[in-house]
Structure 1
Amino acid sequence: MGTKEKILITALRLFAQDGYEAVSVSRIAGELGMTKGALYKHYKNKRDIYDSIVAHIFQLDAERAKTSKVPEKTFDETPLPFRYTTVEGLKTFMEAQFRYWSEDETACNFRRMLTLEQYRNPELTELYHRAFTSGPLGYTEDLFREMMGRGLWHKGNPRQMAVEFYAPFYLLLSISDAASSEPEKRATEELFTAHVEGFIEKYASEGEEAANGGDHKG
C-alpha cells in the first residue's frame, strides 16, 4: 500500500470515528508518524483528502455497476444504458452492493462518516442522500420504469416499487453493523438476497424475454 492510500484510509477511519470537522491534518499526520509537511507532499489540505475519498468511493461504485452490466451513471447523465439493463444484472449489482457496503472497511467508514456529519454539515448531508437515499432511490426508479417499457417488469408505479425494493437495503445494513459475529452478518446478507429474489419473482415479467434480458436492439 502506497503512502497516498495510507493517508486516505487513516483519514477516513478518523473521520468515521470523530467526524470530518473534528479531525485536523496534524492528527492525521500524527497517526501515520509523519509531519504535516510530509503529508502535504501528497495532498494540498484536508479538503483534498476528503475529495479523494469521495472520488475513490464513487469510482468503485461505477466499477461494480460496470461488472454487473447496469448503468454507471444517472439516467439524466446517460439514459441509454438504462434501456439495456437486465433483471439478472440488477440482481447481481444489488447483491454486490450489499456485500461491499456491509463488509468493506473503507465503505463502512465512509458510511459512518456521513452518518455522523449529515446533521451538521450541509454539503455532507447532500452527499449522504446522494449515496444512500434519494440517489439510489431515483436510480432504481429509472431502472424499473425502463424495464416496464421493455416488457421486463410488471406495470405499476416505479417510484413506489423503488421504495419497496430499496428500503430493506439500508435497514439490513444497519442490522449487519450491529452483528456480533460472522454468522450473524452472513444471515443478514442471506436475508437481503432473499428479499431481492422475492421482489424479482413478484415483479419481473415471465417468459423468454425476461429471462434473456429483452431485445437489446431497442
Structure 2
Amino acid sequence: MTSTKESILYTALRLFARDGYEATSVSDIAGELGMTKGALYKHYKNKRDIFESIFERVYQEDVVQAKKYGVPVDVFEKVPSAFKNTSLEQLKNYIEARFRVWLEDELARNFRKMLTLEQYRSPEMGGLYKRCVGQDSYIEDLFRQMIKQGVLKKNDPKLLALEFFAPFHLLLNMAMADEESDIEEAAGLLTAHIDRFIDNNANIAKVAKAKKAKGVIRKKGV
C-alpha cells in the first residue's frame, strides 16, 4: 500500500511534469490529493522540500545503476580514475538501462518531463537537465579517455559524444511524445545505433584484447 508521503511525492511530480514546477502550488498538490495544506505539511515542509526529495530519489537510482554497470558515478573532476577504467561494453549496458528507466519508471519519466519544461525558465533547472538528462560532457570525458587509451580511434571527443548521444535524445523524445509508442522497438533502435557507433569508431583490436584480458582475470578469480 502506498504511503501518504509517497502519494504526495508522485502526485506533485505528475503536476510538475504537466504544468511546470513554478506554476504548481502546494494548494494544487493538496487539492489533487483531496487533503488540506496542513495535512500535506505534516509530510513535507514546502514545495521545495518535495522537489528535493524527488531529485534525491532520481539521483540515487542513477548512482545505483552506474555502480551496477561499472561506469563513473560523478563528473571527471571528482572521479578521474573511474573514467580511465570504463569500457565501451559497460557504457553501452549503462546507456541502454538508463534509456529504459527514463521511459518505464514513472518517477524518472515525469522528472525528465518537468526538467524539459523548466530548463529554459530557470538556470537551476537548466543545470539539472544537463546533469541528469543531457550528460553530453560526461560522455565526452569518457570518450577522451578512451581515445587516449586507444580504445577509440583518434577523433574529436566532443563530436563523438554528439554522434553517440543525439540519437538517444531523439528516440527518447519520440517515445515519450507518443504514449502508444513501442518501447521495445525504440530500445532496439538504440542498441543498433550503439553497435554501429562502436563498429565505426572503436579500435577493434584494442577492444578485443581488453575483453580477452578481462576473461583471463575472471578465470583466475574462479
Which TM-score applies when normalising by structure 1? Answer: 0.90
Distance 1:122 1:195 in 2: 32
Distance 2:203 2:192 in 1: 18
Residue aligning to 2:128? 127
User: Larger RCO: Structure 1 or Structure 2 (Cα < 8 Å, ≥ 6 residues apart)?
Assistant: 1
Aligned residue type for 2:43: H
Distance 1:106 1:9 in 2: 7
Residue aligning to 2:183? 185
Once the two structures are superposed, the pairs formed by residues 110-149 of structure 1 within 5 Å of their partners are 110-133=111-134, 136-149=135-148
Aligned residue type for 1:211: K
Residue aligning to 2:209? 209
Deviations 1:40-86 (A, max 9, x none): 12211001111111111111111111111101111011111111111
Name whichever of 56-65 and 143-152 sits farther off: 143-152
Residue 110 of structure 1: CA displacement?
0.9
Aligned residue type for 1:152: V
Residue 139 of structure 1: CA displacement?
0.5
Contact 1:151 1:210 in 2 (8 A): no
Residue aligning to 1:194? 192
Aligned residue type for 2:145: E
1:5 and 2:9 correspond: no
Distance 2:93 2:203 in 1: 18
Residue aligning to 2:154? 155
Q: Which runs of 5+ in 2 are unaligned?
A: 218-222
Deviations 1:114-169 (A, max 9, x none): 12222222321222222233xx1111011111122222222211111011101111
Residue aligning to 2:220? none
Deviations 1:154-204 (A, max 9, x none): 22111110111011111111111233535x332122111100111112222
Name whichever of 81-90 and 149-158 sits farther off: 149-158
Residue 209 of structure 1: CA displacement?
2.4
Distance 1:180 1:47, change over 3 A: closer
Name whichever of 31-40 and 155-164 sits farther off: 31-40
Distance 2:112 2:13 in 1: 10
Tell me how many residue pairs correspond in the alignment: 213
3-state SS of paired residue (1:70): coil
Residue aligning to 2:69? 68
Distance 1:187 1:213, change over 3 A: farther
Distance 1:14 1:179 in 2: 19
Residue aligning to 1:54? 55
